[in-house]
Structure 1
Amino acid sequence: MARIAIIGGGIGGLAAGCYAQMNGLESVILEKASRPGGLCTSWDKGDYIFDGCIRHLAGLKPGTPLNNMWKDIGAMPSDIYFPEELVKVIDQKGNEFTVFYDLEKLETEMKRISPEDSTLIEDYINAIRRLSNTDLMEVGFWGFRDWLRNLFTLIKNRKVSKYTMISFAQRFKSPVLRTFFPVIQYGWESIPLTLNLGVMAGSAGKRYGRYLGGSAEFIESVVDRYKSLGGEILYNTAVERVMEDSGRAVGVRLENGEVISADYVISDAYGYDTFKKLIDDRHLTDRLRSMYSKPIDRMMMALHVSFGVKMDLSDRPNAFSLFLDEPIEIAGDNCSIVNVINYSYDKKLSPEGKTSLKVMYDTYFSYWEELSKDQKKYEEEKEKIGNRTIEAIERFIPGIRAAVEVTDVATPLTTKKFTSNARGYGSKEEFRLRDTLKGFLNKPMTLKTLKNFFVIGHSIGGTNLYGCAAMGRNAVKKICKKEKKDFYSS
């Protein structure tokens, strides 16, 4: 029986482990931390649970390829919440824009704000409707017939898919829509509009929703499935090196000196660690060598500010973006928008009558790295950020500051400490639709000079949670082909 050593117990590594066991392969997951999940995590603080990952979970419609994958690895069925809106955008002048998933409501809302933009609004709504039966997140599962069936839809949507969020917004005549529209998808102004169209269509069709219980509970359900299949997870187990013989991966050496032999190695570790620490530099392509020589300092949504508040906010939207008349200073940046996630819909994350909230900011890794040299200043800065953030929310929800019972500020260094993930590497260019669609294919990376070695995970292109899981699945599928075994899945 072929044996697989899997480095990292994130969703990709866990999915690989589940599919390995389902297909009669022996596997062991080597997790550096004391708990599984990596970036897919949540944590307790006082009476509250603060979530660090899942927002829109794709693959919730039974019978679809993604839903079958979630079932395979034990994540489904589960309790799911389907919100009515993506976000509500508000400014201090009284302007509001609710991004409903119901497309008739959304069209009415946008035309209320700007009747003079009716034609452009209809183009946007129709582009979402065209994707009602086409889930871009499933591209990696498409066969030839699926491509034929969906190709016409993709061609029809070219009229709008060439835009980014902000470039499309500039076409509106209404100053309100020009200002509000770019931030409706998590505040990401530069992403391809197609990503927003996909989320809107998927949410309208109840293919996307919110997982109740938090990301740690999601991961635990996958761990339970893996163990039930006979898989083994070793926690607090750091890998020092991938072992090789005659150009093949033959196992791993742990930091404690122990060697674990294997026929195949799958790395779901942080990309930098995989390519710069775990394998020899001679295996890197020129592109990889160049990529990992260029650290990216600016990190998206890397500063998490969470609050446990003694208020029932179930009458508020599940997400709201607040435009401030006066910006607030956050980690050296002037921020004029505060994007709030309201977890009042999930009763598992807070006591009755109370609410967990989260705000995420882009930030610079180097800012926190420098600040951490003085622990007192580091903690003072976190406290300031918590205070400034809740004061900004107070402008829209009077009384909320006095209702705060717990504040938690997780910086990029917090993430590095608990998951080993740090700054990104590679190009600083904006999102490109071509690269985005390529990411949807969920292909594990292989190296020509190191056989039987696979790299998976978000840092090498895994799109969202499902993409990393699909990469793990596809790595095992390739191994089954090498072993001349039929690959089993739903």
Structure 2
Amino acid sequence: MQQNTASFDAIVIGSGIGSLTTAALLAKERGMRVLVLEKHFNLGGQTHEFKRKGKYEFDVGLHYIGGMDRGSGKAVFDYLTEGRLLWQKMPDEFEKFVYPDLEFDVPSDGKLYRQRLIERYPAERAAIERYFHDVKAAATWYSMGHLGDALPAALRPLLKLAFRWKGGLAALTVEQYLERHFSDPRLKALLASQWGDYGLPPSQAAFGMHALIVTHYWRGAWYPVGGAKQIARAIIPVIERLGGQVVSGKTVTEILVEHGRATGVRTIATLKPHRPPVDYAAPIVISGAGAVNTYLKLVPRHVDIPFRDRLAHLAQLQQGTSAISVYLGLKASPATLGIRGENHWVYSGYDHNRAAADTSFTQGYYLSFASLKNPQARSHTAEIITFAKYERFAQWSDGRWKKRGDDYERLKQDIAQQLIDRVERRIPGFAALVDYVDVSTPLTMEHFQGNPRGEFYGLPATPDRLFQPWTGAKTPVGNLYLTGGDVMSPGVVGAMIGGVKAAGAMMGPFGFFRLMKTMAEAQRRTEQTGRAPASETASAG
């Protein structure tokens, strides 16, 4: 056993957007020297990219983000990156929902979206108008339901009472809401087309989570200029300038706990696990590894976690969704085929619950063209994603990355070819553009991200996720905190706000809300002066 002698005020596990957000805010607002430890050899978690053949760059988890013209999400990004992260607006019709006898283009305007639905389904006009009112309310209440622990303890029961009185919509499933208010099965399917953005079909997903996604894109969608990797590249220098350090290739195997308080972490070298473990000490530990990994794997069994058994049972009972991603390097621009950079959600039928349960990879897929979203892309790429069951790949789970055998590689290539053929049937000429193919499976997610069973989004966004103790930023272990999507909501922005929540938990009463106010005020000053807030944050330490 080796002890690292460097001195840090806090250690953050993982370099995803939630972890980097917490680290940057602690550095900027508290002057803390933060050590960030990342398992992967690439930094950024689900916002990292990888390159193949020296020219094809692929994003792994960020495909589009809403609200990057103004608002709280933009304010947080600008504050964390000190204005260095730029955004490219996607086409006005940024999504295409495709069914056997129906195609629908989603516009970058919530009112126009509503009007198009009414024009197509005039008999459902009243239900559609009510839906657009209800998703706004449900999104607000779902967010508030995850912010209960950001309030002083005396106010939390009042929030629960208010939620039961006014927030019931958020705790319905998507299916319950749609069945209650709509008649046309095609319209019900159409409204749930983006279920892949939160990883659960209508029968399981909370309507509040669905509402967050719908309202998130009412002003359209954006993509980072330079690609998803620019997010980590813009935040990490802020952490390091203020005395912190961000290290890749370090797998945290245990959170060290003494007398009920976190005191550091134990690590191994990811690529050379046979080397002696190295311990890092700090008075505060923040885990971005997710609630299940943190409580069931990293916190030692002898440490009392009152809800550990309940969480373990839930993890078995409510397993999240994983996916297969087919990464394609293209010989020429997909614009030659009429693609403008929009996303395509393509389904072979109108039953999303059946699509989620299917194991044949024929029920649907998501198609994205990152190179058309990124004005700095030097070569063209596409990505086809379809949801998958972990069990299909479990027999190879004991193998190592890139060394799982010929049968595994053949299965990956067979699935890739099936999906390419399906896209070709819709977009003739697509297959001829393909120059390079790479495939990730649930085992890839499990290996690199550490997600149980390769789950894409962490804790499933079901109705009973609300008000659970394992979604809180504070933990039963002293000086141990959680950050990321599991303390707020799935997705990049959800994980980022979860990072703000974690930082706020260390800043006294209403810490989260004071941080959000600070960032909103910085955004207003930037809009007035045209200058990013770099100068004021440079002296925060």
Distance 2:258 2:355 in 1: 56
Distance 2:324 2:232 in 1: 22
Distance 1:400 1:286 in 2: 54
The 5 Å alignment of 1:87-98 reads 87-93=95-101, 95-98=102-105
Secondary structure of residue in 2 paired with 1:204: coil
The C-alpha deviation readout for 1:11-41, integer Å capped at 9, x for no partner, is 2222222122221222222223322222332
Q: Specify which of 30, 48, 64 is matched with residue 56 of structure 2.
A: 48
Q: Paired residue for 2:272?
A: none
Distance 2:431 2:317 in 1: 35
Secondary structure of residue in 1 paired with 2:35: strand
Is residue 141–residue 170 contact of structure 2 (8 Å, CA) maintained in 1? Answer: no
Per-residue deviation, 1:370: 0.7
Secondary structure of residue in 2 paired with 1:445: coil
Query: Structure 1 residue 4 and structure 2 residue 31: aligned?
Result: no
Q: Paired residue for 2:475?
A: 446
The 5 Å alignment of 1:233-248 reads 233-248=246-261
Q: Call closer, same or farther: CA 1:68–1:229 in 2, change over 3 Å.
A: farther
Q: Paired residue for 2:495?
A: 468
Distance 1:29 1:244 in 2: 18
Is residue 169–residue 177 contact of structure 1 (8 Å, CA) maintained in 2? Answer: no
Q: Paired residue for 1:117?
A: 124
Q: Paired residue for 1:99?
A: 106
Instruction: Say which structure is richer in strand.
Output: 1
Distance 2:482 2:459 in 1: 23
Secondary structure of residue in 2 paired with 1:339: strand
Q: Call closer, same or farther: CA 1:242–1:194 in 2, change over 3 Å.
A: closer
Is residue 16–residue 472 contact of structure 1 (8 Å, CA) maintained in 2? Answer: yes
Bigger CA drift: 25-34 or 251-260?
A: 251-260
Is residue 446–residue 454 contact of structure 2 (8 Å, CA) maintained in 1? Answer: no
Q: Specify which of 431, 454, 460 is matched with residue 401 of structure 1.
A: 431
Q: Call closer, same or farther: CA 1:280–1:478 in 2, change over 3 Å.
A: same
Q: Call closer, same or farther: CA 1:470–1:75 in 2, change over 3 Å.
A: farther
Amino acid in structure 2 at the alignment position of 1:19 = L
Amino acid in structure 2 at the alignment position of 1:8 = G
Per-residue deviation, 1:272: 4.3
Q: Paired residue for 2:187?
A: 177
The 5 Å alignment of 1:54-65 reads 54-57=62-65, 60-62=68-70, 64-65=71-72
Query: Structure 1 residue 33 and structure 2 residue 40: aligned?
Result: yes
Secondary structure of residue in 2 paired with 1:269: coil
Amino acid in structure 1 at the alignment position of 2:347 = F
Secondary structure of residue in 1 paired with 2:479: strand
Query: Structure 1 residue 342 and structure 2 residue 369: aligned?
Result: yes
Is residue 81–residue 345 contact of structure 1 (8 Å, CA) maintained in 2? Answer: no
Is residue 472–residue 482 contact of structure 2 (8 Å, CA) maintained in 1? Answer: no
Q: Specify which of 215, 220, 225 is matched with residue 201 of structure 1.
A: 215
Is residue 23–residue 239 contact of structure 2 (8 Å, CA) maintained in 1? Answer: yes
Q: Call closer, same or farther: CA 1:69–1:114 in 2, change over 3 Å.
A: closer
Is residue 87–residue 184 contact of structure 1 (8 Å, CA) maintained in 2? Answer: no
Per-residue deviation, 1:382: 0.6
- Number of aligned residue pairs: give it: 471
Query: Structure 1 residue 210 and structure 2 residue 220: aligned?
Result: no
Structure 1 residue runs without a partner (length 5+): none
Q: Paired residue for 1:15?
A: 21
Per-residue deviation, 1:397: 0.6
Q: Call closer, same or farther: CA 1:197–1:249 in 2, change over 3 Å.
A: closer
Per-residue deviation, 1:115: 2.2
Per-residue deviation, 1:384: 0.6
Is residue 138–residue 207 contact of structure 2 (8 Å, CA) maintained in 1? Answer: no
Secondary structure of residue in 2 paired with 1:33: coil
Q: Paired residue for 2:328?
A: 307
Q: Call closer, same or farther: CA 1:271–1:391 in 2, change over 3 Å.
A: same
The 5 Å alignment of 1:323-334 reads 323-324=347-348, 332-333=359-360
Secondary structure of residue in 2 paired with 1:176: helix
Is residue 6–residue 265 contact of structure 1 (8 Å, CA) maintained in 2? Answer: yes
The 5 Å alignment of 1:247-286 reads 247-255=260-268, 256-286=276-306
Structure 2 residue runs without a partner (length 5+): 1-6, 153-157, 269-275, 520-541
Q: Call closer, same or farther: CA 1:167–1:251 in 2, change over 3 Å.
A: closer
Distance 2:117 2:76 in 1: 36
Query: Structure 1 residue 412 and structure 2 residue 442: aligned?
Result: yes
Distance 1:471 1:184 in 2: 22
The C-alpha deviation readout for 1:340-362, integer Å capped at 9, x for no partner, is 2233532357546x4x2222222
Is residue 298–residue 362 contact of structure 1 (8 Å, CA) maintained in 2? Answer: no
Is residue 318–residue 460 contact of structure 2 (8 Å, CA) maintained in 1? Answer: no
Q: Call closer, same or farther: CA 1:196–1:55 in 2, change over 3 Å.
A: farther
Secondary structure of residue in 1 paired with 2:46: coil
Per-residue deviation, 1:383: 0.5
Amino acid in structure 2 at the alignment position of 1:451 = G
The C-alpha deviation readout for 1:347-405, integer Å capped at 9, x for no partner, is 357546x4x22222222223212146661110001101111001111121111111111
Query: Structure 1 residue 192 and structure 2 residue 211: aligned?
Result: no
Per-residue deviation, 1:128: 5.3
Is residue 304–residue 361 contact of structure 1 (8 Å, CA) maintained in 2? Answer: yes
Query: Structure 1 residue 319 and structure 2 residue 340: aligned?
Result: no
Q: Call closer, same or farther: CA 1:407–1:109 in 2, change over 3 Å.
A: same
Q: Paired residue for 1:81?
A: 89
Distance 1:429 1:6 in 2: 20
Amino acid in structure 2 at the alignment position of 1:165 = V
The C-alpha deviation readout for 1:449-473, integer Å capped at 9, x for no partner, is x311222233565543233333333
Distance 1:234 1:429 in 2: 26
Distance 1:276 1:454 in 2: 15
Q: Percent identity?
A: 19
Distance 2:163 2:291 in 1: 35
